[in-house]
Amino acid sequence: MDLADFYSKVEEHPQLAGKSIQEADKDNPKDTIYVEFTGGNNIVTALPVDAIEKADWETIEEVLTIKRDPQVLYHMTRVVGYYSRIENWNKSKIGELHDRQKGNYSIV
């Protein structure tokens, strides 16, 4: 898939939001694009650019919206200010993730 098409598809999708792009460096040898699934628990998926170029939109969309397990893509969530992969979490931790509620919390 062409990257320009990918960006437009993400922008048009009601449950997806582009988060950031990380250029390749010594710690991360591939350019990576982060996309957030806002339709549930704000899960962020890291997509290597070469994986986007090899896949079609239907496959990528299923992975990003958690309808299909990723093969080379990672699901991540932001907990207490940092991103964490959820593939290594146990069943209880995944349950906690699904039970989380987004709220507008403030101190008065």
pLDDT at 99: 78
CA dihedral sign of residues 65, 97, 38, 88: negative
What is residue 91's DSSP assignment? Answer: H
The residue with tokens 């906690």 is: 96
pTM of the model: 0.60
Give the torsion through C-alpha atoms of 87, 91, 97, 100, to 10 deg. Answer: 180
The full set of domain ranges for the chain reads 3-99
pLDDT at 30: 80
DSSP 80: T
Determine contact, residues 49/3, Cβ cutoff 8 Å: yes
- Which pLDDT band, with edges at 50, 70 and 90, does 70 fall under? low
Query: SS3 for 60?
Result: helix
